[in-house]
Amino acid sequence: MNIKFLLPKARAFIEKGKIPKRASQRFRGLVPLQHMLPTDGYIDRVEEATRDDLVIMSKAIEVKDFLYLKDKGIKFVFDICDNKWRIGKDRQKNTALMNSGCLHANLITTTSGELKQKIYEETGKDALIIDDPYEREIEEPTFKPHKNNLNICYFGGRKSFSMVNWEELFAILNSMKIEYTLHATTQKHQYAVQRLTRLGQFLSKHERLKLYEWDYELQAKLVRECDFVIMPISNTNPERVYAKSPNRVIDSIAQGRYVITTHGVISYDKYVKFIGKGSMKRNILWALDNPKSVISKIEEGQKYIQKHHSPRVIAKQWMSLRNKV
């Protein structure tokens, strides 16, 4: 049985030598595939699947795709990366998709214990947790901040970016009386800025913010050049963020950078020994006063993720599904 990840539109990027923008296609497909069998791979459409395949279905799919595979007798896994039950502007469609996938799938996988619990509450079905891998090479831990000009980095998807309370964040950073520059990158950032403007957040007035259109290599560069990565979590949409994967934390640790985040994403608790979590101000000031401890935290974090989140480890988790369906 061959494992085939359904990754709509990914081929167009890959054939041009580009990295797909959708993080789930990388973390839940292309990265682990590098260490899977030569007969495993990805497909653009369900019509490419055969009865010899086990299809992994995640995002950008419709109910008709589940029904097509079921009608053809092709086994498939529904991989749930986000809670979409009764959420979003297409909440009815999203809910129908989630319920249909769970009903017809031969197996359900997910990214966190919180999503596993949510799936059971909604459908009575059990799900298998498959962790996200890191997608960057392990880099040497570095923390040599200049207090007269801190270099701070933020990266995240457009929805996550749009849910950040940036006015609150800048108020916290400015209250510290420390010079800094915040480099932030997200996809289609102009649309995210427009949405935030409608919500009364005017990013253009913040001179210390440098905003960039997301690019795979640019993200790596910004993280590599920063003193630390910040991940402020929305407290106005807890149902949309509490069950998120820790992939941004994992990838930042892989690049040897200290992560500071606020409360809200439960899966981050597993990494609390390696990151700053809670008060943004308190954790920044602690890090500046304790650079050697910061390095130790990053080093221990890298040991942990290499044991639990390396692409090779995660590839084995996906390949084990052959024996579970």
Give residue-wise pLDDT tens across range 269-285: 999 999 999 999 999 99
Per-residue pLDDT tens for 185-235? 998 887 777 777 876 777 878 889 999 999 999 999 999 999 999 999 877
The closest alpha carbon to 161, from 184, 142, 137, 135, belongs to 184
DSSP type of residue 134: P
Q: Is 19 exposed, middle or buried (0-12, 13-18, 19+ CB in 10 A)?
A: middle
pLDDT at 58: 86
**Rounded mean pLDDT, 70-80:** 97
Give residue 146's identity as a one-letter amino acid code.
H
| In the predicted structure, residue 51 carries a pLDDT above the cut 90 | yes
- Could you tell me the pTM of the whole model? 0.92
Neighbour tally for 148: CB within 10 Å: 8
Mean pLDDT of 120-132: 96
Packing angle of the helix pair 291-308, 280-289 (nearest 10 deg): 110
Q: How far apart are CA 263 and CA 233, in angstroms?
A: 7
